[in-house]
Amino acid sequence: MDQIFDFEAMRKHRDRAAPRLKNIAPVLDELAARLLGRLDDTTQTFTTALDFGGRGAIAPALRARGMQVVSADVSPRLAAQAGGEPLVIASENFGLEGRKFDLIAAHFSLHWINDLPGALIQLRRALNPKGLLLASMPALGTLATLRTALLTAEETLTGAVSPRVSPFPDLRDCAGLLQRAGFALPVADVEDINFLYANPLALLHELRDAGETNAVLARSRKFTPRALFLTALAALPMRADRYEVTLRMAVLTGWSS
């Protein structure tokens, strides 16, 4: 399989974000509440849960619901502070024990994985029979205006372009990925969430603080001139005197058999 993402770079970005995570915690918590709200739609009882990459937004909420929680992350620091029993994921071969969890919640932690179908298969195998997967990830259209602005600014300033925003899956493919991974009753839906910034540099700071710095293998390794970001950010659309970007939050649900 072609490699798109740099796993080691992603791990380092998340590790470095650990002490800054409090800056972005309210956003992660709000998004986690939207994901975990799906639990209110089922009468199933869950006792054991895997928090897969939730960065402190998932494990406390699941423990408040009475579950025993293991918190897995590629970053040892994030795993340790996520709120559950820590488990470090050392590679894209997750090494999860089979049929261990009633519930797996993967909150914005799968979009840097090269083999997404393989990752979903691993998560399904870690579920007990009739276990539930809840996953959130950015879908195609997320940060679309930022992607375009960066490409335009870089071409204007340097005559070349490089990938600076991760490629995201199309929502139409998400339910199909769940089905291919062997999940029953696969469902994928999307919610557009708009963020407004008085200072667009705050967007870049929040992405850094969340551990979402560029980990695309084909990214430029050259020094990025500050003018590139200033030019690109100034070109973002505005609403009510604020710079606007959109997160297309895809929510995936599927059951193990």
Write down the H helix ranges in 75-162: 76-81, 116-125, 144-158
Contact 250, 189 (CB under 8 A): yes
**Helix axes 171-180 and 116-125, enclosed angle (nearest 10):** 50
Distances (CA, A) of 145 to 45, 157, 177, 195, 247: 41, 18, 26, 12, 11
78 in Cβ contact with 209 (< 8 Å): no
| Look-up of token digits 């372009």 | 161
Backbone dihedral angles phi then psi of residue 247, each to the nearest 5 degrees: -105, 120
- The DSSP bridge partners found for residue 137 are 250
Structural contact between residues 118 and 92, judged by C-beta atoms closer than 8 angstroms: yes
Q: How far is CA 66 from the centre of its chain?
A: 25
Question: Model's pTM, two decimal places?
Answer: 0.94
CATH topology for 7-255 is Rossmann fold (3.40.50)
- How far is the C-alpha of 49 from the C-alpha of 65, rounded, in Å? 11
The b/e string for 187-209 (b: 16+ C-beta within 10 A; e otherwise) is ebebeeeeeebeebeebbebbbb
CB atoms within 10 A of CB 61: 23
**Average pLDDT for runs of 10 along the chain of length 257:** 88 96 95 96 95 98 98 98 98 96 97 95 97 97 94 87 87 91 96 96 95 89 80 93 96 96
Q: Which two tokens stand for residue 6?
A: 């740099």
Amino acid at the residue 255: W
pLDDT at site 1 = 61
Query: 49 is written with which tokens?
Result: 């849960």
The size of the chain, in residues, is 257
pLDDT at 158: 83
Residue ranges covered by each domain of the chain = 7-255
Name every residue whose Cβ is closer than 8 Å to that of residue 12 and which is 6 or more positions away in sequence.
Answer: none
User: What was the pLDDT predicted at 253?
Assistant: 97
| Strand 48-52 with 242-255, pairing | unpaired
